[in-house]
Structure 1
Amino acid sequence: MNRPDRTPVRPPAQGTQQRSGAWTVDHAVRALATACAEWQRPVPQVGALVLGPDSVMLRLSCPDEAPPAGWIAEQAGRTWTMPLRELHSAPVSDHVTDALPMLVSIGAGDEGRVMLNLAEANGMISLTGDDALARGMVRSWSRRLTTGPWAANARVIRVGFEPDQDFTGWDVSRLVEAAQVLDAPEGGIVLFAAPPQGRDLYLVDRLLEEPVRRWTVVSVHGENATWRFTVSTDGKVDTGLFKEPLLLRS
């Protein structure tokens, strides 16, 4: 059988915790895609990635008890894990596609740093609660989605935010201004500073009704959301996806 070229990637020199964490997440995503390609099976539907002190855990949207080599299925296939000592030397291929380009950091829990795959939301994603903190989180996501190593090819549109030099996507005042970008077959993510209205709402409804979803939509105080996260002034975010609220982190 044809297998992708696999090249072990040497862990970076010890630096800041943030840099080390970013490298580990990126390497975990690439190692996952490489192992699945070698086994000629699709990458599983990952709802969240948890970076713990000793391992990486994938929380799957659909249980899967047949992980590729290196990954361990637990909880009846609802989670896959790999120890960090094995992950750091796990081979990756330069030829695999970006498996989880919509992965963003949302907070820290008892098990470690939690990252959500926004592409797994089957509808609108809404951030409510403290307005300034909610907007700040969405702005942080937009920057990471255009600069994070695992999201290098993500197409990101922001609507209603003040421009900043750290964001390299599309900044528009209304979504209709980016209509040509929406027609791209690759898709991407749209982030609203406030609930879409009028023609923008029509475009959002059209995107979310596509039989094969190309675009993910996030809105501060969005309505009719599938995922609704509440950001509180005490520095926590309640996702409804975990037992306890998470501590905010950028």
Structure 2
Amino acid sequence: MMTASDRNPLSPSMYFLRLVGYGLLILSAVDFAVAVFPPRLTNPTWELQTIQFIVDWVVVPLLGVGLVCVGELSSRRKFEPLLLRILSWSLVVVGALFFLSVPLSVSNAWKLNNQGRNQITGELDRGITRIEQVREQVEGASSEDLLNLIQQAQQRGGQVQTDDPQELRDLLLNNIDRAETNIRTQVDSTRAQQVRTLLESSAQVNVSAFIAGVLFIYGWRLTRWARVKQPRPPQQRKAKAARGKSPQRAKRGDS
């Protein structure tokens, strides 16, 4: 006996598309499990990278859902209507999660920016401390110490621009000032590059997550047919009515 879903049979290619859709959904579930396990929820780097990975592969489950829904309820197996109903409701849940991931990724980008800034500031402080130590040594060195330094450099084959200890002191202090300026310039450039990279990454993830959320919510609206309980065909209603009347007739015959 044909059911309501059997009245419009599909071509074999349509069945193949549905099979490909189920396969894509299974692959997406496997990739998602690999990406989120083991979870490190207190690590902003892991959270941002996980969101970016999921967003980059969001086209796979979207395509899978589209292929599974080909033909709506036509020519479905008995278990598929329930499966499609669950799949339809899962679309709105996934869409909401993508929307929630937008503020989460912004927060993680902010945390990473603060961590990177603190790390760079610490490196700058350590570098400045070493420079200041060298500066104090040069300023506190005596003329005899500077002459010994010139002689040691000449014995090693190095070229010293002057034999005057005071000129050497001034030359060394100028080099120290130049090194300090170079360190500060490099730190500022690194900070700017870090902020630019985080902004670009966060913007790309947030825009993609928002678009993915819109698509999943819209897919939920379009799959309303999967959530509506379908009426039984006349043949099934007649068969059920006949099965219900049979025990009554048997009781009458016994009486």
Which band: TM-score by shorter chain?
Answer: under 0.3
Tell me which protein shows more strand as a share of its residues.
1
TM-score relative to the length of structure 2: 0.20
TM-score relative to the length of structure 1: 0.20
- RCO greater where, 1 or 2, for CA within 8 Å and sep 6 or more? 2
